[in-house]
Structure 1
Amino acid sequence: MALMFPRLARNFARNGYYPTDEATLERTLQALAPSPGCMRIIDTCAGEGVALAEAAHALGRENVEACAVEYDRERAAHARGLLDRVLHSDLMDTLISKQSFGLLWLNPPYGDLVADHSGASVYQGKGRRRLEKLFYQRSLPLLQYGGALVFIIPHYVLDDELCGWLCNHFTDLRIYAAADATFKQVVIFGTRVRRQDLVKPRVAVMRDRLRAVAADLQAAEELPASWPWEPYVVLPAVNELEHFCRVSLEPEQFADEIGRLRGFWPDFMLHFGQTGIQPRPPVRELSNWHLALALAAGAISGVVHSKTGRVLVLKGDTYKDKVRKTEFTEDADGNVSEVRILTDRFIPIIRAWDMTPDSPDRGRVLTISSSPSESPTPATEREPEPDPVPSLLFETGRLVMTRAVSDLVERGVLDPSLYLRRHIAGDWGELCDEDRQTNQQALRHGDRLLSSYDLSIDEEPRLWIITETDRSVTTLLLPSDY
């Protein structure tokens, strides 16, 4: 007894992989023509890379840079042997420069989107949620205006929404049935144009044509064995491919980094924020995927290259400070009254991580701010004066902080090391006599220790430091975290 429909059975056997058949590929390539200059083409679901490699040879392999994205590991490895650049990645997890390709070859995965991490969260549309439409949305910005589209999908995917997208984004649209009718595929050709350049009567006619093919009201002509029309010209690349990388780490890269570093660096923010400690240089030179990951996470704002060759990784932030002003007024009777005024002031801070290759300052953190306390001296940066090392009354164990405290440290408005030194030296801060006596007894009997310090920050007036009874953990927190 059959357990599934024949089409689903073939899909299962191929694991959802629909490579373009040889006859359809040969006929499709006849519709493309090269242009003078260096061309750049892309396939955002490349499989083993055969289709794009054949397209590159048909256009003139020496003048074509072929780029691809493929999710499957084995197929991506095979494609690397045929193409110039291949990313083993989910297309939704990539950073690729827009309008950088003269040909978009799009034979996406087929099927409905599901409510998980398969990309449904980034889908934008009101019609049926399909993988083909998601890949179209993500791939379209990569094609330059005037570039050629080859779109291979099952004809039943062409709902009203997708037909509208195609007619609004492309001109000279043509649709043909694939030479192999096994998967009911159609091949759609088009030239990308701006919407204002479209001829409205032709748009309406083509939309009706696509809808009729999708609804089986009109059969698409089979892809001709010899192309009878003017071919679609693949334009030369007009700009450099600035971004072509995967945003997240590949599992092998992540495993190698953890093994090389022998684990994560514990309490990074606490150690990084301490004064008096020379910042460590980066563990390795930042690659493209390092920068893409940091940019996507908001850890950096960009990378600046100076004319002298200096490379700075920037992170900008702004925090609000209070400006205190006191005014004295005297009435007719000679009575003097005091008025205190607090005015908000927004202070920008820009931190730069020097990543200049072979520089003695590589890894140094520079700060630019309008706040006098944040600005370095004109000649050179101020070197922090080392504080006297306090006597250690007890072991602090592992140092941790809450998210709210970490946010203050990142913004540069709190230096936790100052208060940690007071804590381990037995300076309990602003505690009552009873709590101070309790801490002194805890030092002798091994109970929990608590310090409380007033902060000169209006939004957070106080910092607590708690060392547990077994001295295994010391926590920095705000009263609002407790």
Structure 2
Amino acid sequence: MALMFPRLARNFARNGYFPTDEATLERVLLALAPSPSGRMRIFDPCAGEGVALAEAAHALGRESVDACAVEYDRERADHARTLLDRVLHSDLMDTMISRQSFGLLWLNPPYGDLVADQSGGFQYEGKGRRRLEKLFYQRALPLLQYGGVMVLIVPHYVLDDEFAGWIANHLAEVRVFAAAERTFKQVVIFGIRVKRQDLSGQREEVRSVRQRLRTIAEDLDAAPELPDVWLDEPYRVLPANRELEHFYRLSLEPGQFAQEVRRLGGLWPEFDLHFSQVGQTPRPPVRELSEWHLALALAAGAISGVVRSRTGRTLVLKGDTYKDKVAKSEFTEDEDGNITEVHTLTDRFVPIIRAWEMTPGSPIQGCLLAISSNPGSGNEGSNDGEAKPEPRSFLFDPGNLVMTAGVAESVERGLLNPQPYLERHLAGDWGDLDEVDKHTNQQALKNGNRLFSRYDLGGDVGGETRLWIITECDRSVTTLLFPSEY
């Protein structure tokens, strides 16, 4: 049935690859049942050669299943493409995949400890022991739709109190079994993803699942062996409830990049459409523009494209204006002392001008500059009479400053001013990292490794609460991004 045998699996294990063994795979598939109607979509975020997910697809009814996967190794990804419908050759952390898009999540993640350096250890969100298994669980769980089935295959000893708590609070109808093949000391955990509030009235059940997982973590023999005949109610895989809008790799391999350039006919085939004044016949102004008129024309987008000053400075300009809401609260007190709060929202038009520095030889060539009248942007003068803080001394050159689409949108809408966080990053204030990660950054300043900062935004900014800033090893690029965009 399966293409992977225990002896071959042990050989792969020596190279850090732990595919699901044949006996365990066959028994797990007995616990799954297909949806009676609709088309199912299943996912494996570290698929190896794709055998396990392909077998799951056949067990559920291949003609009614879309099997999607991610695999880091090129050769294994190429093999998986011969068995599955969609395969990304990528690290899971370098993908954009629509949330809640899969009815089955088959998660047999890589095993091992994370290292707090440029290998990716900073992506882990938690206080317990940093493990690859936990990182992949965090990244993959949101991709499973509510009511969807998770099959989690991990070594029993990684189920610390933190990991056990996650599973108990995220999954219902949890069953835990020892894998049929004991070589890797694995357990197979079945569960159905539910909203956490749905478990609020089942505290005893949550506590019981958590304790059972902790007991198995201490002693693998406490888990019953995966049965070769499934007698319980099977886990039914739901049909897909939405389109898979996003399923792609964020960064491009050189071969992929060359292919895209050829397909588009160049890097920017529509440059003139977005930045040029081709086809327009500008009319000269009646009188010389004042600085106010110039600012208004820039904000309205009337002046855009490549602009050169008399001094030789070259900028690519684009202006825009958007409508924002200003919230105001007023409190009134009646004769009885009752206080009433009244909230009002007032429309406010906020102009924002972006300039791409393209002056040859400029130390900030390639940097994106933004000017906004939004108070949150830090560009308006202060009337409170307070002295402005002295500028920070920077410890390193950030190189080209870039930001992801999510950060750019938040800046454009006036929800985020990245300047204070960038200044903190350049000054060596690494934000809310732990002491180990801060020490790693200090060493990176000396050794020329990648620098990472993480800042709490102090509230909800378009669904995000943290901002990451990463400066590459060669100090050529500094990127501002939200954790969900990594």
**TM-score when scaled to structure 1?**
0.56
Structure 1 counterpart SS, 2:360? strand
Say if 1:352 and 1:121 are closer, same or farther in 2 by CA, change over 3 A: farther
> For the residues of structure 2 that align with 1:181 and 1:352, how far apart are their CA atoms?
66
Contact 2:97 2:246 (C-alpha < 8 Å) held by counterparts: yes
The aligned amino acid for 1:223 is L
Identity, % of aligned positions: 63
* Matched residue type, 2:67: A
Aligned to 2:360: 399
Is 1:244 matched up with 2:205?
Answer: no
- C-alpha change, 1:248 and 1:232, in structure 2 (3 Å) is same
Distance 2:135 2:77 in 1: 21
Amino acid at match of 1:81: T
SS at match of 2:172: strand
Shift of 1:399: 2.9
Q: Contact (CA 8 Å) 1:33, 1:233: kept in 2 or not?
A: yes
Structure 1 residue 121: Cα displacement: 1.6
Residue of structure 1 equivalent to 2:116: 115
Give the match for residue 256 of structure 2.
Answer: 253
Structure number with greater Rg is: 1
Q: Aligned to 2:230, which of 217, 224, 227?
A: 227
Query: Aligned with 2:148: secondary structure?
Result: strand
The count of aligned residue pairs is: 309
Cα drift, residue 261 of structure 1: 10
Match of 2:343 in 1: none
* Cα distance, 1:253 vs structure 2: 1.8
CA distance in 2, matches of 1:118, 1:47: 20
Relative distance call for 1:209 and 1:77 in structure 2 (3 A) is same
Letter in 2 for 1:33: A
Q: Secondary structure at the match of 1:399?
A: coil
**Counterpart Cα distance in 2 of 1:352 and 1:10:** 61
Residues 139-288 of structure 1 mapped to structure 2, 5 A cutoff: 139-198=140-199, 199-216=202-219, 219-256=222-259
1:232 maps to amino acid: Y
1:217 Cα offset (Å): 7.7
Q: Deviations over 1:320-367 (max 9, x none)?
A: x9869xxxxxxxxxxxxxxxxxx99995769999xxxxxxxxxxx997
Query: For residue 126 of structure 2, what is the aligned residue in structure 1?
Result: 125
| Deviation (angstroms), 1:403 | 2.5
Kindly state the Cα deviation for residue 216 of structure 1 after the two structures are TM-superposed: 1.3
Cα distance in structure 1, aligned partners of 2:139 and 2:322:
41
Please show how residues 16-415 of structure 1 align to structure 2 within 5 Å: 16-35=16-35, 36-198=37-199, 199-216=202-219, 219-256=222-259, 347=299, 369=321, 399-403=360-364, 406-408=367-369
Q: Taking structure 1 as reference, are residues 11 and 133 closer, same or farther at Cα in structure 2, changes over 3 Å only?
A: farther
Give yes or no for contact 1:70–1:90 (8 Å, CA) kept in 2: yes
Alignment of structure 1 residues 414-429 onto 2, 5 Å:
none
Q: In the aligned structure 1, how far is the partner of 2:149 from the partner of 2:205?
A: 18
Gaps of 5+ in 1: 1-8, 280-320, 325-342, 354-364, 376-397, 414-482
Contact 1:347 1:370 in 2 (8 A): no
Contact 1:351 1:368 in 2 (8 A): no
- Work out whether residues 156 and 220 of structure 2, in 8 Å CA contact, stay in contact via their aligned partners in 1: no
Q: Distance in 1 between matches of 2:15 and 2:151?
A: 23
Three-state SS of the structure 2 residue aligned to 1:56 is helix
Q: CA RMSD in A?
A: 4.2
Structure 2: gaps spanning 5 or more residues: 1-8, 281-289, 306-316, 324-350, 353-358, 374-486
The 3 A distance-change label for structure 1 pair 252 and 171 is same
Task: Determine the C-alpha separation between the residues in 2 that align with 1:350 and 1:19.
Answer: 59
Give distance in 2, aligned partners of 1:27 and 1:62.
22
Q: Which amino acid aligns with 1:244?
A: F
Matched residues in 2 for 1:88 and 1:113: separation?
A: 21
Letter in 2 for 1:201: E
- Helix, strand or coil for the counterpart of 1:145? strand
Q: Distance in 1 between matches of 2:206 and 2:254?
A: 46
